[in-house]
Amino acid sequence: DLIAKGLEMVGVSYRRGGTDPLSGLDCSGFVQLVFRESIGRMLPRTSREMSRLGDRVEKRALQPGDLVFFNTMRRTFSHVGIYVGEGRFLHAPRPGGEVRVEDMGGRYWMKRYNGARRILDN
């Protein structure tokens, strides 16, 4: 299960450009790893490339497994996470951080939300 695999990664250190949970993951490396290891789906390497996949989803229609995107580096779709339900998402946040579940309703995330894509057949 995709969400269960993502939750297994909670606590893994962030590393810019990281694609391996032993040495650290960045946001897109985390999403790429979870999709590959849970359902065998290969995703592109960057959050911007991931933002072009699947179908656009309205915020009110989000379902677990949808990709959620944020502008965290002064450019759209610069950060990606996996929606887990109840307004929360899994992601690898930033240098010095680790993979965690975050509330999308927080001011920081609400202000930077760019949209969501559904690439799974929910």
Find out whether 105 and 60 touch, Cβ atoms under 8 Å: no
Q: Please give the positions annotated as active site.
A: 27, 79, 91
Count Cβ neighbours within 10 Å for each residue of 73-106 and write b for 16 or more, e otherwise. Answer: eeeebbbbbbbbeeebbbbbbeeeeebbebebee
Q: Residue 6 carries which side chain, given as an amino acid letter?
A: G
DSSP state of 14: B
Count Cβ neighbours within 10 Å for each residue of 1-10 and write b for 16 or more, e otherwise. Answer: ebbebbeebe
